[in-house]
Structure 1
Amino acid sequence: MPFNLKIPGLLCCLGLAISVAHAEDNTLKVCAAEDEMPYSNRKGEGFENKLAQWLGSELHKKVTFVYWTDPRYYLRDTLDKGLCDVVIGVDTDDPRVATTAAYYRSGYVFIARQSDQLDLSNWHSEALTKAQRIAFVPGSPAETMLRAIGRYNDLFNYSQELVGFRSKRNQYIKYEAEKLVDEVSSGHAELAVLWGPSAGRYVKASVTPLTMTVIPDNNTRADGAKVPHHYSTSMAVRKGDTALLAQLDGLIKTHPQDIKQLLMAEGIPLLTEQGFAVVP
């Protein structure tokens, strides 16, 4: 008799567990930055927010975002802990995760005012030797190449002005892409060197007409080591989550035009594996 008395409770618990599992199966939990535009924010305004919503629509799942604040630890603190299931943008073949096929490839760009008609075909362009202010993100390939052509020290104080001379110790210092593009459009800087996907939205929206030139991927440091400027981007899941990985790969392979359309509407310069521009 005691055993029989426990059966209704057991069935209730089993039913609840099945219900919860079913609900989770219909939810796509996406790791996203709470304030890293143009990628994502809590308002859902970034292009990775839009890509996540598109994924949810195609997979017939409700999208919920799990937000992070510091990019240095976001995989450890979200995806690795099982708080979310997919990251929309990581370098293809990132060893920390399982990555999909690349869904876009882009590169670093030179940004200048159209009216200045600067010849900015590569890092040896004369305009780079004459510019008084060049906006760039420290730690990026732009810094490496500015050092290689002997311009980094000339620009050090200006680059620090862009974040107000804040200490970098034990904190994440963010250089806003919108601000760096505005430095050029306002005339405060002659040019900027930025990652194309970060800059595209703001170049497109600028009241001052700007040019955005993809930098060739044949750059080397003074010691001859290659400095990559073109990168492929994938989506990522936890290692071992083969089912979700296969679903994402399937969508990337069967809906390339949908993804391309969303990215090009954002103003992102897209490249082929050979480095050629992807045209609409």
Structure 2
Amino acid sequence: MKISALDGRADALRRHFRHRQFRHRTVRALGLALAGLCLALPARAQVSDLVDRSTLRVCADPANMPFTNEQEEGFENKIAALLATKLGLTLDYTWFPQATGFYRMTLGAKRCDVVMGYVAGGDPVLNTNAYYRSAWVLITPKGGDLADVDTLEDPRLKGRRIGVVAGSPPGDLLSRNGLMSMARPYSLMVDRRFENPAEAMITDINDGEIDAGILWGPIGGYYAKVSAKPLSVMPLVKEKGDPSLVYRITFGIRPGELNWKHQLNDFIEKEQGAINRILLDYGVPLLDAHDRPIEPAP
């Protein structure tokens, strides 16, 4: 490069840095003024914890309806799309089966920045505020003699064939109430691309193979809603002692990312109505803080 070109470039760099210093002083003064007026910065400026600050990177199961799938048809997909829109970010997925090793291979490996559904208090993530509460549900034929049963202590369940997910919390309560001898187990940890225990349980109820089934609320509510026959879905909120069958569901993020947590909490607070509409549209049985059903808005 010629000497004259180097001199010209040096002059240009000096002018550039003087301009940047002026601009930084101006921006700082403006920022202080806005802070005094309690005005919020744009959402894009607040994602300081994200690995990629231009993209909302979500890790999800590729075949786990009604939560997520690769076609982005699940309710967590819809909530993620809403979040991306409100943050002004592009939505991008890393797909991984939600089984053993999920956290290590997703959030832990920094392949994404949020998982859309985690039980409150569930290790090893940092939980946001809960964006919905639901419960395990008892599913029975609509209009049948078990349709209004709302607790596993009900004597009408004695001698009945009840479907239950093996190793799930309701199994303990079935045992406590002497109902396990007639129970039919369904697999807990499966690859949903090839097997769907919830669909199998609903089919068995409709075919009369079992008298009732117990599923996690969002799963049971969704598959009951799309069932070929009408079904009753009763949240089990009256069970006594442990384990509780009511859970709060949050977004899961990496521990220590407090700025990101605060931003997600702001989204939940501002968009709770829209989130509820999405969940109710999928048949999710929502509960308020007193375990009362949240009904769709008229």
- For the aligned pair, the TM-score class normalised by the smaller chain equals 0.7 to 0.9
1:17 equivalent in structure 2: none
* Other-structure match for 1:191: 212
Structure 1 segments of 4+ aligned residues over 4 angstroms from their partners: 171-175
**Structure of higher CA gyration radius:** 2
Q: Distance in 2 between matches of 1:179 and 1:54?
A: 32
* CA shift digits 1:18-64 (9 cap, x unpaired): xxx99932210001011122111111121111111111111111111
In 2, distance between residues paired with 1:175 and 1:145?
Answer: 24
* 1:258-269 superposed matches below 5 A: 258-269=274-285
Matched residue, 1:122: 151
Q: Which one is further off, 76-85 or 23-32?
A: 23-32
**Compared CA separation, residues 122 and 217, structure 1 to 2 (3 A):** closer
Q: Distance in 1 between matches of 2:284 and 2:244?
A: 18
Tell me the TM-score normalised to structure 1 length.
Answer: 0.81
For residues 219-245 of structure 1, what are the alpha-carbon distances to aligned partners after superposition, in whole Å with 9 as ceiling and x for unaligned?
23xxxxx21010000002111222222
Native 8 Å contact 2:159 2:182 kept in 1: no
Aligned with residue 66 of structure 1, among 82, 86, 94? 94
The residue that corresponds to 2:247 in the other structure is 231
**Normalising to structure 2: TM-score of the pair?**
0.77
- Structure 2 partner of 1:182: 203
Q: Counterparts of 1:98 and 1:117 in 2: how far apart (Å)? A: 44
The answer to whether structure 1 residue 144 and structure 2 residue 160 are counterparts is no
User: Counterpart of 2:137 in 1: which secondary structure?
Assistant: strand
> Percent identity, aligned pairs only?
29
Candidates 119, 126, 149, aligned match of 1:91: 119
Shift of 1:99: 1.2
The answer on 1:212 being equivalent to 2:241 is no
AA partner of residue 210 (structure 1): L
- Seen in structure 2, the aligned counterparts of structure 1 residues 268 and 202 have a Cα distance that, compared at 3 Å, is same
The answer to whether 1:244 aligns with 2:273 is no
RMSD: 2.5
The letter for the 2-side match of 1:117 is D
Query: What amino acid sits opposite 1:277 in the alignment?
Result: P
Please say if residues 217 and 230 of structure 1, whose CA atoms lie closer than 8 Å, have aligned partners that are also in contact. Answer: no
CA distance in 1, matches of 2:252, 2:73: 21
Alpha-carbon distance, 1:217 to partner = 4.2
Q: Secondary structure at the match of 2:117?
A: strand
Q: How many aligned positions are there?
A: 248
